[in-house]
Amino acid sequence: MADVQRTLVLIKPDAVQRELVGKVVERFERKGLKIVAMKLAHLDEVTLSEHYGHLKEKPFFGDLLKFMMQTPVVAMIWEGIGVIDEVRKIVGSTNPREADAGTIRADMSMNVPSNMVHASDSVEAAQVEIKRFFRDEEVFTYEKLTDRFHFGEGI
């Protein structure tokens, strides 16, 4: 069986404000990834301090939290073969002005912290982040007609 994984994606407040939620979702759908969970969530300081714990000492930490609390975010789980790396590739590198053309961040944003999306960066992070944002009953397993193209032998 191929390495089917799940990863957490957040559509950040800048993308919500700029009415780009659909464009982000479209990129992942078009690639052939499967959406298995999705909701709006207004994040609180405790959740965000945990989520961005690795940046606690950075001078922009306070502003990052404020930014992330401006509107609800769209939290999603995407499933697919090697999906953690695939999604990071589609999202592009942290600074949108350094990200490769064709990525979400390069194509639709110009700045940090307002770089459109968060995506888990490792198997361990994906496990922790999925648990952080979703209860088990909010995550779905289902068959899609296109699974044979994206998950099977490709025929």
64, 69, 81, 139: which one binds ligand IDP (CB under 6 A)? 64
118 is catalytic: yes
Question: Quick one: which of 43, 86, 115, 126 contacts ligand IDP (CB under 6 A)?
Answer: 115
Select from 23-31, 74-82, 114-122, 145-153 the region that touches ligand IDP (CB under 6 A): 114-122
Residues 6+ apart with CB under 8 A from 107: 101
Backbone phi, then psi, for 94, in 5-degree steps? -55, -50
| 94 counts as binding ligand IDP under rule CB under 6 A | yes
Which token pair is 117?
């999306």
Q: Per CB under 6 A, does 60 bind ligand IDP?
A: yes
CA-to-CA separations, 152 to 31, 34, 37, 44, 73, in angstroms, rounded: 15, 13, 21, 40, 32
Residues that bind ligand IDP (CB under 6 A): 55, 60, 64, 94, 112-113, 115, 118, 121
